Chain A
């Protein structure tokens, strides 16, 4: 009897232990560290709210925050639209369709370093494919220096990230599309609905739980964007493409400012938490609760 009470806890103990050790522990530790000045090598020094005050007074922090919000505002709608279109196109019973689904999924599983190298060549100012097309086919005499121009660098990161991740969300949408019962479409066709009406009145509303998942997931990933910045622009030019996660990394591991980086991490956590809470708050207004 005594063992029966303990047994369930023993089963979940490894999971709880791992969670405590590798998630909750670091979350608490970084909160404490955010009140210190700590270069990792020597003992931390307590500075109270110093890191948070510095953050609030830092022009770079506000620029980085703005970059992160702009990135998110461009990336999330972009990836949802692109992946939904891909999913609708690939939701057909055609010969070889599995190949195309695999093809569009490939970027998602490709190393970011390889992706960055390829896109760097595409966007290269002088020898890039894009600029040569703009020059030779469209007569643009001075095409932009995409990666070296403060007006374009962040946009390039958005494009590359959409390209890389759309395949994943396409699969999610595809699963959603295939779970919509065919009799609903049949009924709509009998009622005389055209393709656009079917898409906007049936497909989209029925997909809303999946869209909600994609929205939340892509939002969180957008706020945490790091790899593409690291691999393509290193945050340049002049912080124009520095995202919050990359700024945290630089402060923690390049500038050895663990305390400041931890304070930044809490700002990011707060931001992601607020946006996610907001999403869940308005969920009922547009997400279909129907179980089909």
Chain B
């Protein structure tokens, strides 16, 4: 009995001594932030940035990177446990859900104090992606570190070969686009199989919505609570469908099955393609290894018959602060450091536009010695960044991978297995059953 009491006493003393030792070590080492990032491919680059900012701020930062498939489940489990990393990457598509659930710190005061006095140095229009509950009036719950835009990629050599003028940066009409697509659709060996299509797309969000917004269309109703494509959106989808089934200038998605969708353009199977600026790197690497590399460039998305003003489909990638952090000030300073002048051109993400204007507008970032020669067009186009269809449950109703959602229904249309009105009606039923969970009928 006496031995037991002595043992308990010794254990307790050891624990207390250990804890106080830990505390003193921690105090000596200063603040340690945990930072989660979703892109392991760029871990070395991000680690360099972390090292720079840690040294500048006199804090420790532990960087952890993981694939998005692991990133979100883990982050959500940590949120449930009230143990989020101090700083973490956030998608524009999840801002509303996470802000609503109180899982991101409101950083509006920090932004007002430190960023707005030098607003000219930032693409402030992109800040709206981080606002909640209203996308123009709401407070910011995360800070953008970069953003992306969807653009029209075109094969310069194919245009030259066909004797066509390049797409105007002032904007092509659908008719002009269609004329070019027809001229660019080529069966070189006359075997009845098209060797180069004029254009390539499928039901993917980046391939579709860019066109809808340039035709002044919308997929959602005014308060963004229901899937209700308007007439302009339906007109856009009909036009896209006609490119495959009426004009034959684009392949059915099924024809390209088995090829990574982002490789169709650099493989020379299509002369034009609409997708995000993040594909610049893939184009470069694919064409560097190609037997017959070609020149390519960027242009705006063609304007539909109901176009009123240019509207670019783009969104920001963000950094958020945990509401549970003990070091909110330090976390904000870290975000400022990671998104400001310290992130020099060589530390930016290929195909993503840094939020800090002097870096984005520098000659180094424009990479004039590489394709595309008009990378600066992204900065021009960014001025027109407009709506997205991000809502709670977006991935479920929009369909982020091939098997489900609006994307899957549109693919059935483009593959000739379903009529457009039938597909939209089925997609609306499914999408609205998802949206109803977040915005119940009153």
Contact = CB atoms under 8 A, between A and B. Distances in A.
A101 interface: no
Interface residues of B, number: 33
Contacts of B103: 41
A126 interface: yes
Contact of B101 (A42, A60, A121, A242): A42
Nearest to B430: A60
A45 to B, nearest CB: 11
A253 B393 CA distance: 12
B403 A41 contact: no
A292 B283 CA distance: 66
Contacts of A256: 76
Contact of B415 (A42, A127, A145, A254): A145
Contacts of A205: none
B98 A41 contact: yes
Contacts of B76: 39-41, 256
Nearest to B102: A42
Contacts of A42: 80, 101
Nearest to B402: A236
Nearest to B78: A41
Interface string A18-62: 000000000000000000000111100000000000000000100
B255 A242 contact: no
B402 A237 contact: yes
B344 interface: no
Interface residues of A, number: 33
B101 A41 contact: yes
B116 interface: no
B118 interface: no
A interface: dominant SS: loop
A125 B101 contact: no
A239 B402 CA distance: 9
A25 B404 CA distance: 32
B376 interface: no
Interface in B382-426: 393, 395-396, 400-404, 408-409, 411-412, 415, 417
Interface stretch (A146-154, A174-182, A272-280): A146-154
Interface string A245-277: 000001001111000000000000000000000
B77 A40 contact: yes
Given A41-B80, A242-B403, A255-B393, A126 B259 contact: yes
Given A148-B253, A233-B403, A124 B77 contact: no
A120 interface: yes
Residue among A60, A148, A150 facing the most chain B CB atoms (10 A cut-off): A148
* 7 tightest Cβ-Cβ pairs between the two chains A and B: A124-B258, A235-B403, A145-B254, A236-B403, A148-B254, A236-B402, A148-B257
30 contacts: A39-B76, A39-B97, A40-B73, A40-B79, A40-B80, A60-B430, A121-B258, A123-B258, A124-B257, A124-B258, A126-B255, A126-B256, A126-B259, A127-B258, A128-B258, A145-B257, A234-B403, A235-B403, A236-B411, A237-B403, A237-B412, A238-B403, A239-B403, A239-B404, A241-B403, A242-B403, A253-B72, A253-B73, A254-B395, A254-B396
